[in-house]
Structure 1
Amino acid sequence: MTRFPTASSQWRRATVGAAALLLACAPLAACSSDSDDNPLGIGTFDPEAMASAEASESAAAAAASASAAASAEAAGIVTAESLSTDRYVVTSIPEGLDEQQTEVLKAFINYDQVTWNIWFTRTGAENAEPLMTAEAYRRLKNGFEELGDGHTDGTVRVSVKAVTAVAYARAQIAICGDQSDLVSYDANGNDISNPETLQGRYETVITMVYEDGAWKESDETTLTVNECVV
């Protein structure tokens, strides 16, 4: 079983004391005071101001997170966040990867995102050719042609469990891929998803080989279904 689809096997988140109210209002600028109606000057709750303040804080946090991820990537450090896209979310990667393991990981993620995009859109199979060995690409092409027109919606979530060098110019990556959010459609828009072969969690080992100056996907084996954790 593979993580990717064929035609016969659709593949592969009350009251408040015045002192407490004053403390709550100060940092958020979410309270107001009217001296005529409120001679003690105690702030009154303003839900619109509170919502605006919370939105600003959320946006600032998101910007800071994105900036941190970009800085890490620029420094040659990969993170789960820096490797993710809208439709392909990396939930975790191993800690302490060396330079070679990092290169293998980046090559695998690139390959995996490109090939998933092929299945999402049913276009661009040729984009995967430089990322795979000749035999692996032949298998992908056969599966792609068998599947036919249509598209797939949803998000793939991937947890990378290990990156291991198994021989010279050969490495393996162990992952858990969660495809439970995916829905597959044929060319007429009919839902052709098969929960038994598409919408599951797959523990998979992918073999990468160093060929023509790049790490390429060579083979992959699914070990368990609906047992691993993303």
Structure 2
Amino acid sequence: MRRFHTGSLGLRSAAAGAAALLLACAPLVACSSESDDNPLNIPTYDPEAAASAEASESAAAAEASVSAAASAEAASVVTAESLSTERHVITSIPEGLDEQQTEILKAFVNYDEVTWNIWFTRTGIEDAQPLMTAEAYQRLKNNVDQTVAGHTDGTVRLAVTSVYLTSPDDSPPKATVQVCDDQTDLVDYDADGNDISDPGTLQVRYEIIITMVYEGGTWKEAAEEYLSTNECTV
């Protein structure tokens, strides 16, 4: 927002006052010098013109901001920070991903966040169905059905180490995403609030390869392979 000088013009000469007003008014086109009561032809401040000019500037700035955001989204620009949420934090992603690899990465992160939210809250399993193949979703559903009531607290942290299109000519095309999945901050609670965490299976770091397949116009999770425990870092 532009600022206006509010000092007394009576301490200045008429010429100096006119020059100062011309400088203040020119950028906003908010002054007028045509008046029968203004024999020295000194520009006067027009509040309606000033308000209109400021509104135009604000609208232009907002339009530029929206345009920049749309351009970034169109270019599929992603960062570890932009992919993160409060309790599902992406600590790093590979550099130099092309457009297709970026789409695979975004699909995997979305799937992983949604499925972790199921474990955090023990609700919303239906949200995972469109993000997984039918076989993978059935395995998830079976696991959730066998889990005791309760919830999980904490933050899961993932370092994405590679995104690789393995079989572009297959039908459907396949890709892999390799991650270090740090669950050391997580705590499981039963419905009564008792800590039922298993330090050997929950509060560990897993190196995992996730297989993604292109099905129905989108990338979906199909399988996971655990490579190591407590060896990778995020």
Same-fold status (TM-score > 0.5)? yes
C-alpha distance in 2, partners of 1:101/1:125? Answer: 27
Following TM superposition, by how much is the alpha carbon of 1:76 offset from its aligned partner in structure 2, in angstroms? 2.1
Q: Which runs of 5+ in 1 are unaligned?
A: 1-67
Query: What is the aligned partner in structure 1 of residue 150 from structure 2?
Result: 150
User: Matched residues in 1 for 2:201 and 2:72: separation?
Assistant: 37
Instruction: Report the number of matched residues.
Output: 163
CA contact (8 A) 1:72 1:79 kept: no
Q: Which runs of 5+ in 2 are unaligned?
A: 1-67
What corresponds to 2:5 in structure 1? none
Q: 1:207 aligns with which of 193, 211, 216?
A: 211
- Considering only CA atoms, is the larger Rg found in Structure 1 or Structure 2? 2
Tell me, what secondary structure is at the counterpart of 1:83?
coil
Question: RMSD of the TM alignment (CA)?
Answer: 1.6
Q: Deviations over 1:56-109 (max 9, x none)?
A: xxxxxxxxxxxx999855642000000000000100000000011000000000
Q: Deviations along 1:91-128, whole A, 9 cap, x unmatched?
A: 00000000110000000000000000000000000100
Provide the rounded CA distance (Å) in 1 between the counterparts of 2:184 and 2:69.
Answer: 27
Alignment of structure 1 residues 94-173 onto 2, 5 Å: 94-168=94-168, 169-173=173-177
1:190 and 2:212 equivalent? no
**Compared CA separation, residues 189 and 78, structure 1 to 2 (3 A):** same
CA 1:123–1:225 in 2, change beyond 3 Å: closer, same or farther? Answer: same
* Higher RCO, Cα 8 Å, sep 6+: 1
Identity of aligned residues (%): 68
C-alpha contact 2:161 2:179 (8 A) present in aligned 1 = yes
Q: Which amino acid aligns with 1:205?
A: I
**Scaled by the length of structure 2, what TM-score is found?**
0.67
